[in-house]
Structure 1
Amino acid sequence: MSTHDRQPPSRDQIVDRYGALARAASEGLQIIDCEPGSFADGCFGAAGYGDTTGLPDGAVRASLGCGDPTAVADLRPGDTVLDLGSGGGIDVLITARRVAPGGIAYGLDASADMLELARANAAEAEVANARFLHGHIEEIPLDDATIDVVISNCVINLSTDKPRVLAEAFRVLRPGGRLGVSDVIADSEDGALRAAAEERIGCTAGALTPDVYREILTHAGFIDIAITPIGRAGDRFRSAIVQAAKPAGATEPEGVTVRRMRATDADQVLAIYQAGLDTGDAGFETSAPAWQDFDDARLPEHRYVAADTTTGDILGWIAAVPVSGRCVYRGVVEHSVYVHPEIRNRGVGIALLRSFIASTEAAGIWTVQSSIFPENTASLRLHQRAGFRVVGTRERLGLHHDRWRDVILIERRTATNPLF
């Protein structure tokens, strides 16, 4: 098979591979996951840590990372931390000590052998606040908004569904939570060149370029994204620190989660749109558009839905369109927010607005505006609560259901633009 036809290892193959390495580490062997000469300068393995004093030899021997995420994740006493692909447990043990007292460090790994090794290392180190979970990083077995910090060390590059991994990390983080991972990144998007380099190195499976990594993080909902190379990792690869945050404004009411809108939400989003229009006070339109028209018109990076955490049903949505194609208006958008008419007093609207505002401010948008019928007093109160001001009333602007309607123009100017 040619290099061009090389397929990345399957999830089962990766689990089997690391299980074998865990067994070797348990037998006292120094394990190496990659071709040694490829990572002379990449801060791989135990070399990525400044100090391993007090850590069990088994944890150090089983270190297969490409840096030290615990050094950049801003760990604080009392934090609840999750390590994706925790392996022999070295990062969990370091983390557990730093978040004590009151904090918990979880390690998630798909290899039963690695989990057995990690638990033995935690017992030897007498670390009582470490917890190890069996599962896959694409399907994190934890509830929404339960984690303060997500870390990972050279594992995300191994997943064949990296967008799912990062979406899951966003899901389990609390509002304001942090992501700090070490990973392997690629210099080039050229598939053939990258596959050839991966085959020589032997331990990556479709590493992302910085631009693609950033795009996936942004799509998942993260802000404050920084990708910092820390060393050369063989031909066409580098080790890097990836940092990001979940917007602090994403405060969600009980039983509700706010997340990015997906194409699979289309039917429910349009049904809520139509239900709002049917009230007669949500907008000039009388029928919701087709999904393709909705999708084409609205900015993809600033769409959110509020979903019931028990049923998964969509309770409301928010999205925006640019007000103009002219460059001078690049930071001005017009938004719409719709909550199902049967959902009252659950905080869905304000949760959607907070997530949306955090997203637009992080993107450099300086003005968000909308128009509201004067009769829609609930919407006006909601927006004023979210920091919008009334600019004025446009009288008899349009004919709607055989009568001329006024609209109130509202706007919110960003607090982060130094010009304001």
Structure 2
Amino acid sequence: MAHDEIIDRYSALARAADAGRTVADCGQEAFEQGGFGAAGYDDLTVLPEGAVRASLGCGNPVAVAELRHGETVLDLGSGGGIDVLLSARRVGPSGTVFGLDASPAMVELAQRNAAQAGASNVQFLHGTIEAIPLPGHTVDVVISNCVINLSDDKAAVLAEAFRVLRPGGRFGVSDVVTAQALDEQARQQAEQRIGCAAGSLTVQEYRDLLTEAGFVQIAITLTADHGDGVHSAIVQAVKPAIGPGLEIRPMRESDAEQVLAIYQAGLDTGQASFETTAPSWEGFTASRLPHLRYVATDAASGEVLGWVTATAVSSRPVYAGVVEHSIYVHPGCQAHGIGRALLAAFIAAAEDAGVWTIQSGVFGENAASLSLHQALGFRVVGTRERVGRHHGVWRDVLLIERRSAVVGA
């Protein structure tokens, strides 16, 4: 369905709800049997009737987002405002909730519902979920209810959600997904029956797009089964945590010069590796896995302050979940928690990717690196004595590894 058609459709539903009719975008039977609309909520007696009548979702994202007092929340595709108003009660007067909707009629309906509810800590915005009209690092939690599946550019939606979240922020939405790719006939059947399947992602596609955006700790839990492989689902993820003014995101090709400069600075210390000269970007990227590459940046300037990557230890299938990692921090930014935040994000992303063992080698003299890794669950599993000459000196290498307690346990 085209963008303008979606706006027209939901504007008409808003007008119907405003006129006192209960709207059911996905078919009344699906709402009743599959948990769509108001059926997914526990207690709606605290909300205006108009907000309840305009409930068009496929779950209860407020319940899964674990909202806390004082947090700032953004609801993507807020409709008549039911999730905004429920969130406003959770975050309290010291918190703020934004509702974003592309339909002017829905925004107006939500504003009237908020006024009737006496909610003073909410604000409704007119705009698209592919271009959120808020600055970066603005909100603590992004929620949404059966809306992202309607977008024709879901990668942009998830990238925007990542951008506006503060480090450590949470993504918790209800959405419609498919267990596997549907052929056209099955998709049309599902669309005719529940109205919300068009454009829905498979579970793996959703995970991949969340990973590409930079999210970690990704969990997709199927809830109601609507037949033909179509499900309501709870989708949860986290933006990697790091200190104020900083951000962890996937490495980009445009980071090449800064990444290699930090690499060379680390090699120049004589304590990072047997290598003495950083490779070309082509050599760097060819030897590393295309995923599991992250940088820590200054959020204002975009300057790269550290990076972490992984290489496969073997092409043999039995070692599919074993990687060797490298982590480097700008020499002027060490002892600021950047390395710890980067490594923690990398571990979470690695477990999302099915990695059960992360390993590396550390010079025994590199006490800071050893301490960092041990603090995050790595252990020394052995020593390769006098394994190589470095600047004319024989060096020992400590072999370290971290075994996942989640993957392969």
Asked if Structure 1 and Structure 2 have the same fold, meaning a TM-score greater than 0.5 normalized by the shorter chain, the answer is: yes
- 1:338 paired with 2:302, answer no
Question: Partner of 1:109 in structure 2?
Answer: 101
Q: Separation in 2 of the partners of 1:267 and 1:35?
A: 54
Task: Give the match for residue 408 of structure 1.
Answer: 397
C-alpha contact (below 8 Å) 1:299/1:320 kept by paired residues: yes
> Out of 357, 361, 368, which is 2:358 matched to?
368
Structure 2 unaligned residues grouped into runs of 5+:
none
Structure 2 match to 1:9:
2
Change (3 A) 1:192 1:102: same
Structure-to-structure mapping, 1:346-365, within 5 angstroms: 346-361=336-351, 365=355
Determine the structure 1 residue equivalent to 2:127.
135
Report 1:19-418 matches (<5 A). Answer: 19-34=11-26, 41-100=33-92, 102-142=94-134, 147-173=139-165, 177-190=169-182, 192-193=184-185, 196-197=188-189, 200=192, 203-219=196-212, 220-223=214-217, 225-232=219-226, 236=228, 238-246=230-238, 250-291=240-281, 293-326=283-316, 329-361=319-351, 365-373=355-363, 376-391=366-381, 393-400=383-390, 403-414=392-403, 416=405
- Between Structure 1 and Structure 2, how many residues are aligned? 407
- Cα pair 1:188 1:236 within 8 Å, conserved: no
**Which amino acid in structure 2 is aligned with residue 118 of structure 1?**
A
Q: Which amino acid aligns with 2:359?
A: Q
TM-score, normalised to structure 1, is 0.81
Cα distance in structure 1, aligned partners of 2:337 and 2:55: 45
Structure 1 residues 415 and 197: alpha-carbon distance in aligned structure 2, compared to 1, 3 A threshold: closer
Deviations 1:330-355 (A, max 9, x none): 55432101223343443322221121
Q: Which moved more, 1:213-222 or 1:61-70?
A: 213-222
| AA matched with 1:306 | A
Any idea what SS the aligned residue of 2:25 has? coil
SS of residue paired to 2:128: coil
Residues 406, 100 of structure 1: alpha-carbon distance in 2 compared, 3 angstrom cutoff? same
Contact 1:333 1:368 in 2 (8 A): yes
Q: Give the letter aligned to residue 413 of structure 1.
A: R
Over 3 Å counting, the alpha-carbon distance change for 1:365 and 1:199 in structure 2 is: closer
CA distance in 2, matches of 1:419, 1:305: 27
SS of structure 2 residue aligned to 1:317: strand
Q: Percent identity?
A: 56
Contact 1:159 1:205 in 2 (8 A): no
After superposition, the Cα gap between the structure-2 partners of 1:414 and 1:142, relative to the gap in structure 1 and judged at 3 Å, is farther
Aligned equivalents of 2:135 and 2:337: distance in 1?
20
In 1, Cα distance between the equivalents of 2:340 and 2:180? 42
**Shift in Å, 1:121:** 0.4
Structure 1 position 14, deviation (Å): 3.0
* In structure 1, C-alpha distance between the alignment counterparts of 2:282 and 2:9, rounded to whole Å: 44
Question: 1:5 — aligned with what?
Answer: none
Kept in 1, the 8 Å contact 2:187–2:197? The answer is no
What CA distance in whole angstroms lies between the structure 1 residues aligned with 2:407 and 2:36?
A: 41
One-letter code of the match for 1:348?
A: I
Given the superposition, is the C-alpha separation of residues 141 and 404 from structure 1 closer, same or farther in structure 2, using an over 3 Å criterion? farther
Q: Is the 8 A contact 1:70 1:94 kept in 2?
A: yes
Amino acid at match of 1:259: R
Letter in 2 for 1:411: I
How far does the alpha carbon of each residue in 1:56-93 deviate from its partner, in whole angstroms, 9 at most, with x for none? 22212222212222233334444433211111101111
Q: Which amino acid aligns with 1:131?
A: Q
TM-score norm. by structure 2 comes to 0.83
Shift of 1:210: 2.1
Secondary structure of the residue aligned to 2:331 is coil
406 and 392 in structure 1: CA distance in 2 versus 1, 3 angstrom threshold: farther
| Runs of 5+ unmatched residues, structure 1 | 1-7
Q: Deviations over 1:148-191 (max 9, x none)?
A: 43321110101122233234334444565543322122354145
Q: Which moved more, 1:344-353 or 1:284-293?
A: 284-293
Change in CA separation of 1:364 and 1:172 when aligned onto 2, cut-off 3 Å: same
Q: Report if the CA contact (8 A) 1:160-1:205 is conserved.
A: no
**Whole-Å separation in 1 of the counterparts to 2:51 and 2:36:** 14
Aligned mates of 2:119, 2:294 — CA distance in 1: 40
**Distance apart, 1:373 and its partner CA:** 3.9
State the distance in 2 between where 1:347 and 1:75 align.
Answer: 27
Q: Specify which structure has the bigger relative contact order, considering alpha-carbon pairs within 8 angstroms and separated by 6 or more residues.
A: 1
Q: 2:99 & 2:65 partners in 1: Cα distance?
A: 15
Give the whole-Å Cα distance in 2 for the aligned partners of 1:50 and 1:38. 18
Inter-partner Cα distance in structure 2 for 1:414 and 1:373:
20
Output the CA distance in 1 between the equivalents of 2:202 and 2:325: 32
Aligned alpha-carbon RMSD (Å) = 3.5
